[in-house]
Amino acid sequence: MNNITSEMTTAVLTGTGHSIPPYAVSNEELVTSFNQYVTTYNKEHQEAIRRGEKEALPESSVEFIVKASGIHNRYFLDKTGILDPTRMCPHIPFRTPEEPSIQAEVAVKAAQEAIRIAGKTPGEFDMVISACSTTQRNYPAISIEVQKILGIAGAAFDMNVACSSATFAVQLAVDSIRGGHAKAVLVVNPEVMGGNLNFRDRESHFIFGEACTAMVIERKVNLTAPSPHAFLIQGTRLLTDFSNNIRNEFGCLTPTYPKDIAQKSQFFTQNGKKVFKEVTPLAASLIQNHLEAHHLTPKDIKRFWLHQANLHMNTLIIRKLLEREGTSEEAPIVLDRFANTGACGSVLAFHFHHTDFKPGELGLLSSFGAGYSVGSVILEKV
């Protein structure tokens, strides 16, 4: 392959962007609201609890959340509805089809930053992929709405591989460039989590936060000037392994379910302990194997931008890879501020921690989550 042909089929990440919703919710606020709900529930059911017909609900605690997860804070599009112990669900006013959808709106904000950082204009793109774990509607695709708002030609589609959606979308974008189907791809990850997080569930009420990230992936031949943000995508690797340990049942059959099951269906559920035990080695071995396939070792990697679900998972993965404790430079953590933002986690870690790379230095972006699904992307600073 001559140089020009290779530069036309080699993909480069040239810009990332983000948008964070306006309302910060601390652990203290979340726990106060949850414990008010528990007090009211236990009072209302005190007779049944005394007779042994119902179990008293236990309180949540800030200390547990910090110790078990490393999360201190998260952001949502609304907090009054979430923190109201009689509601515990965000207030998101319904929008008519004539108005931009919430997901498209947050995606456009993140996309505008990524497009600006990449030094491009919307007219230069020919593909949009919306990749995330939450879907506001089944169709028309959110990506097509984003495409229309930004004025992008070509094709757009939505995909969902839960928290791994972003890395899976990177592989699709790279393959589309390699196959000649696209010249510049916009990937957006509009995670709107507040609607399917069960704020009455002690095990999971603290886990998620909302965010949107965006990535510009384009042909290397498009690069005209040096940029602190441009990284060659050296390789991608994906893996899935079916598990029921993280589920969200909500879908087109929900209206056919018995009322109580339909009600529960809208929520994220997980067996957190099993997820922790099973996904941690899965992610570490995929990364290790991916690096080996590129004749690299973890020691060749300057930084790991890992999925942001649980601080201890990331610590363990890095310890497995480096055979020692990692530093915050080697594996930056953003989940303390943002909680688990689904597909956005590793992209947010990259977005805030990449401008110190010198040409030739390597980094690795990795996601892991429901499915199970794991993705790895090797990036080389150009």
The catalytic site residues sit at 163
Binding of ligand COA by 322 (CB under 6 A): no
163 binds ligand COA (CB under 6 A): yes
Of 61-69, 254-262, 289-297, 348-356, which part binds ligand COA (CB under 6 A)?
Answer: 61-69
Residue 44 DSSP code: H
In angstroms, the CA 310 to CA 339 distance is 8
Is 336 one of the binding residues for ligand COA (CB under 6 A)?
no
Which burial class, exposed, middle or buried, applies to 199 when counting CB atoms under 10 A from its CB (0-12, 13-18, 19+)?
buried
Q: Indicate which single residue of 10, 69, 135, 376 sits in contact with ligand COA (rule: CB under 6 A).
A: 69
From 114, 9, 126, select the one nearest 350 (Cα to Cα).
114
CB of 163 to ligand COA, least distance (A): 4
Q: Which of residues 352-381 bind ligand COA (CB under 6 A)?
A: 369-370
Beta bridge mates, 131: 159
Peptide bond between residue 90 and the one before it cis (omega within 30 degrees of 0): no
Taking the complex as a whole, how short is the minimal distance between the CB of residue 62 and ligand COA, in angstroms?
8
How far, in Å, CA of 151 to CA of 382, rounded? Answer: 29
Q: With respect to ligand COA, which residue has the nearer C-beta, 104 or 309?
A: 309
Binding to ligand COA (CB under 6 A) within 247-276 occurs at 270, 272-273, 275-276
- Integer Cα distance of 252 and 316 in angstroms: 38
Alpha helices (runs of H) in the chain, residue ranges in sequence order: 3-9, 27-44, 46-50, 62-69, 80-83, 102-117, 142-150, 165-178, 259-265, 272-293, 311-322, 335-338, 345-352
Does residue 49 touch ligand COA according to CB under 6 A? no
Of 24 and 311, which has the nearer Cβ to ligand COA?
Answer: 311
> Is 54 a binder of ligand COA (CB under 6 A)?
no
Residue 184 Cβ vs ligand COA, minimum distance, rounded to whole Å: 29
Residues that bind ligand COA (CB under 6 A): 60-61, 64-65, 68-69, 163, 202-203, 246, 270, 272-273, 275-276, 309-310, 340, 369-370
